[in-house]
Amino acid sequence: MEENDIPDDVLIIDLGNDFRIDNQEWVYGLPEINKSEISQSNRIANCGCFATAIQLALLPLADAQLLNEDIHISAITGSTGAGQSPSPTTHFSWRNNNISAYKVFNHQHEAEVYQSIHQLQETFEGKLRFIPYRGNFSRGILATVYTSINTDQKYVNELYKTFYDEHPFVSIQENGLTVKSVVNTNYCSLNVTVNDGHIIIQSVIDNLVKGASGQAVQNMNLALSLPETAGLDLKPIGY
């Protein structure tokens, strides 16, 4: 961006992490909270894949001012979430029949999650306790998020349903989730359970679609006043 003189009226959607945090010139490209801003911007910073799955699990709680304790997260991603630079841990022979944690409590996507929580709930003072895992599969993310909460299942069900009513790519599922139900689509599926004073949210996305290129197309559609779902009516690999 610094080396090229790009006119202001040219739409740019950046999939890197350079412009995601506290940037006044770029809109953070999470349509579920920034749809209006995205539709009026030519500079959009696409979200990280882990960040997308985790934020979609937490946004309704932040919007209702219900996040008052530390948030615990474990999430596993396929090998295509490892970026484009080869490393010993990206080789199939190392990934196959294997699983490992990495960047424990120190993943770069945590900053995006904090930023979006504070956008909706400025008073949040808790910590994110995030443990990411490398999976032995190629595509998809499954995140399990839990925190203490003082409410019941009926209220939470209505809260999530109402929050995502106007967002076509987030669905609330009553049954258990599988990665195959969303891989090859731009969907995020959530399962929300209240148990013994805690809320547990499972979130699944395709890290290459809703976690990357699909979300970029969704943002492009909004910025160009196209139907939000244009080009994204995709079928999952398992259903």
- Write the CATH number for 92: 3.30.360.10
Mean pLDDT of the region 112-133: 96
CA distance 46 to 17: 8
- Average pLDDT estimate for 202-215: 97
Q: What is the DSSP string of 159-207?
A: HHHHHTTT-TTEEE-SS---GGGTTTSS-EEEEEEEETTEEEEEEEE-T
Is pLDDT above 90 for 175? no
Instruction: Give the total number of structural domains in the chain.
Output: 1
pTM for this entry: 0.94
Q: Is residue 173 in some structural domain?
A: yes
Q: What is the pLDDT of residue 76?
A: 96
Residue 68 pLDDT greater than 80, yes or no: yes
User: Is residue 42, in this structure, part of any structural domain at all?
Assistant: no
Q: Residue 31 domain-assigned?
A: no
How much is the average pLDDT of 142-165?
Answer: 97
Let me know if residue 15 belongs to a domain.
Answer: no
Lowest mean pLDDT among 43-57, 81-95, 134-148: 81-95
Residue 148 lies in a domain: yes
% of residues, the chain, pLDDT over 90: 79
Residue 10 falls within a domain, yes or no?
no
**pLDDT surpasses 90 at 86:** no
Note the pLDDT of residue 81. 77
Share of the chain above pLDDT 70, in %: 98
Assign 93 a pLDDT band (cuts: 50, 70, 90).
confident
178 domain residue, yes or no: yes
Where do runs of H (alpha helix) occur along the chain?
31-38, 49-63, 92-95, 110-120, 153-163, 214-223
The listed range with the strongest mean pLDDT (40-49, 87-96, 104-113) is: 40-49
- The pLDDT mean for the chain works out to 93
Range of the domain at 55: 48-209
**Residues known to be catalytic:** 49
Q: Which residue has the higher pLDDT, 213 or 176?
A: 213
